[in-house]
Each structure stands twice: as C-alpha cells, then as structure tokens.
C-alpha cells in the first residue's frame, strides 16, 4: 500500500483551470506551471525512492522542514521529468545546510539567486547543458531543475518576492540558474573531485550568486594574457567587498588556450586571487570602504575572497568564441558557503562538502 500524500487537494474542471488556480494561490513564478496531480507527484517520489514524509532538509532560519512530497509537488509544477528528482533533492539538501545560511541569500536586498553546478555522469544521463548558450534557454533539465528549487523556496520556505524575498533588483537567475561542468572536454580536475568527491559520484554544488559577468579576450594566446583580462574585470566589477566565493566559468577557446600553457585549476585560482586585489586607498576613494585614506593605504591590499580556494573554477560554455565569465557570490557580513551534495537515490544521508 503506497504511503498517503498529505497535501491538500483541489478540484478543477480542466488543466487550464488548474493552471489558473496556481496563479490565484500565488504558487507560480510568473510562468504557467504543470498541474501537480497525484500520479505525477508519485512518479517523482518513486524516481528518487523516497517516501512522501521523508525530510529532505530543515531550514533552520525558517524553522521549516522540507519533505519529499513538497519537493515532488514543486518539481512537477516546474516541468521536471521524474528522473530529475534526485538532482532537485540534492539541491534542496544544499540550501538547507546551515553553512549555506538560507536566511541571508534567501531574503537579502542583494538579490542573490542559487547557482547550481552539476557534475558527474548524471549530467550526460539527463542532458544537463554544459556547452553552447550555457546560461540560456533550450535545455529542459537545466531550466526545470533550477525552477523546481526556486519554487520550493517560494512555496515551502516562503521566499515570496516583496515579502520574505526582498531583492532590490534581483536577476533572471532567480527563475533558474543551472549549468553542468563540461567534464568530457575539460583538461582539468572536475569541481566535484576538487571538493572531495570521487569521480564516479554525481554532485550538485549550490552557491548564492549574482548574475554572470561576461568578459572577452580574443587577442591573447597565453594563459596569463586571458586571465589578466579576467582579473582586471573582476577587480572593479561586482561588489568587490565581502563575497565568500567567486565562480570562474571558462569556455572552450579560453579553456584550451589556458590548458595548452600547462595551467591547472590551482594555478588559475592563485593567479586570479593575486591579481584581483584592491588597495585600501582605491576602495576608500570609490566609497566601498569606510574611512579616510591613511598613510600606507596605497600599499595595503584587500583580496576579493579570503583564499584562492574560495574561487570555484568550472570548465563550461561553447567551444567557439573568445568569451568566458565570472560570477560573484552573494555579499554579506554573514557569508554563505558553497555546498556540494551527492546526487543519490533514496533517503538523504551524509554526503556534503
């Protein structure tokens, strides 16, 4: 006998009526949703081998337990296939980790979205895009997995725009913000392995993040030349104060040029960290740091992040075009750590980095 679903039922005349009801109840993100019928919700739960009452996460800041049933309902509404459900579950686990700190990025006027970076064989099984038009439309897995997470935040955790979600300007990634690392063509260690997982494990990394900042360099034939352009952009863009992480997304042409010079991810991180530091004098002149300029402020340097290890390097994007991007993390005195969670089938267990 299958476990009973406990969510409230609503009677509607047809699919159009169901869609309209979801709008009326405030359950949508502004786009129509797929009506969450019981068979569809059960298919989601079955795909992840989860009982409806299994607790996926506990959002401490909201005193809110997120059950598998609620995640499944929102995954159906987002348009996910059942096989996407384990990835959605892992992402919900990630934002429930106290180190991610839900209250900050979920409510801040800074308007952070949740960037999801998927690694492992699951990216090929589900066709999670790691290539052309990386952050754009066209891939069901990318768009619906990220949308499902955001609907969970909205409908279960209460992150409603204008109420708990107080983003001043926000950005389009708050609808969906999902990419995969291009492990098939990458010359480097996958992000998941760098963060302590085995190559055969599939993972999702969740990071509270601003939108992607694109940069262009078609002139350089060396790693240092490309990364100097990147570092110059990073040093003066974004908030440049207080971010716990930055993500670097290096696409095909740049990836191949940097790798041909023999640079690995560790060297990339170190170079970028060293070359994105601002002087205290510059930060004070541009009103990013308080106080008057003091003797020695021109020589006193502040890095964008505390350590080179706080820079996530991801190989992804189209094979052609001299473009890549960087993504600043959410900035606050109370930082939000990037969390990596294994994608599993079955009840959530320990598996975070």
Of the candidates 120, 174, 108, 160, which has an alpha carbon nearest to the alpha carbon of residue 341? 120
Establish if 1 belongs to a structural domain: no
Q: What percent of the chain has pLDDT over 70?
A: 96
| pLDDT tens readout for residues 240-272 | 788 899 999 999 999 999 999 999 999 999 999
CA distances from 127 to 48, 49, 83, 267 (A): 18, 21, 11, 30
Is residue 222 very low, low, confident or very high in pLDDT (cuts 50, 70, 90)? Answer: very high
The pLDDT assigned to 353 comes to 58
Q: Which of 325, 105, 50, 330 is nearest to 215 (CA)?
A: 325
How many separate domains does the chain show? 2
The reply to whether 162 and 310 lie within a common domain is no
Asked if residue 230 belongs to a domain, the reply is yes
Backbone angles phi, psi at 223, to 5 degrees: -60, -45
| DSSP one-letter code for 136 | S
Q: Scan for tokens 């509404």, then name that residue.
A: 77
| Same domain flag for 217 and 287 | yes
Range of the domain at 287: 212-328
Q: Which residue has tokens 């109370």?
A: 334
Are residues 59 and 180 located together in one domain of the fold? yes
**Full DSSP string of 20-65:** HHHHHHT-SSSS------HHHHHHHHHHHT--TT-EEEEEGGGTEE
pLDDT at 128: 98
Is 292 in the same domain as 148? no
| Residues 23 and 164 placed together within one structural domain of the fold | yes
Flag whether 280 is in a domain: yes
Do 41 and 172 reside in the same domain of the chain?
Answer: yes
Mean pLDDT (the chain, rounded): 94
Counting Cβ atoms within 10 Å, is residue 152 exposed (0-12), middle (13-18) or buried (19+)? Answer: buried
205 and 234 part of one domain: no
Residues 170-185 have a mean pLDDT of: 97
Q: Which residues of 118-136 are buried (b: 16+ CB within 10 A; e: fewer)?
A: bbbebbeebebbbbeebbe
Pull the structure tokens for residue 130.
Answer: 């790691």
**Mind listing the pLDDT tens digit for each residue in 283-313?**
999 999 999 999 999 999 999 999 999 999 9
């Amino acid at each position: 006998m299958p476990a009973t679903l406990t969510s409230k039922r609503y009677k509607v005349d047809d699919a159009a009526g169901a869609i309209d009801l979801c709008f009326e109840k405030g359950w949508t993100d502004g786009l129509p949703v797929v009506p969450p019928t019981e068979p569809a919700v059960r298919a989601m739960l079955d795909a992840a081998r989860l009982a409806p009452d299994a607790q996926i996460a506990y959002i401490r800041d909201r005193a809110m337990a997120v059950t598998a049933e609620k995640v499944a309902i929102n995954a159906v509404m987002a348009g996910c296939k059942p096989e996407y459900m384990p990835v959605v579950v892992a992402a919900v686990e990630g934002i429930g980790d106290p180190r991610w700190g839900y209250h900050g990025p979920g409510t801040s006027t800074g308007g952070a979205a949740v960037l999801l970076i998927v690694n492992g064989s699951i990216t090929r099984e589900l066709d999670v895009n790691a290539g052309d038009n990386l952050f754009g439309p066209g891939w069901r897995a990318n768009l619906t997995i990220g949308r499902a997470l955001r609907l969970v935040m909205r409908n279960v955790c209460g992150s409603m725009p204008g109420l708990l979600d107080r983003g001043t300007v926000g950005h389009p990634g708050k609808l969906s913000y999902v990419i995969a690392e291009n492990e098939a063509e990458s010359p480097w260690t996958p992000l998941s392995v760098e963060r302590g997982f085995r190559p055969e494990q599939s993972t999702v990394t969740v990071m509270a993040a601003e939108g992607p900042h694109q940069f262009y360099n078609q002139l350089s034939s060396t790693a240092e030349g490309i990364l100097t352009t990147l570092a110059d952009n990073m040093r003066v863009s974004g908030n440049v104060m207080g971010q716990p992480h930055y993500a670097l997304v290096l696409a095909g042409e740049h990836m191949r040029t940097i790798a041909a010079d023999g640079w690995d991810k560790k060297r990339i991180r170190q170079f970028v960290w060293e070359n994105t530091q601002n002087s205290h004098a510059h930060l004070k002149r541009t009103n990013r740091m308080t106080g008057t300029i003091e003797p020695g402020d021109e020589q006193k340097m502040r890095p964008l992040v505390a350590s080179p290890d706080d820079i996530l390097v991801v190989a992804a994007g189209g094979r052609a075009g001299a473009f890549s991007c960087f993504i600043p993390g959410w900035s606050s005195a109370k930082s939000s750590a990037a969390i990596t969670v294994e994608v599993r089938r079955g009840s959530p267990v320990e598996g975070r980095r």
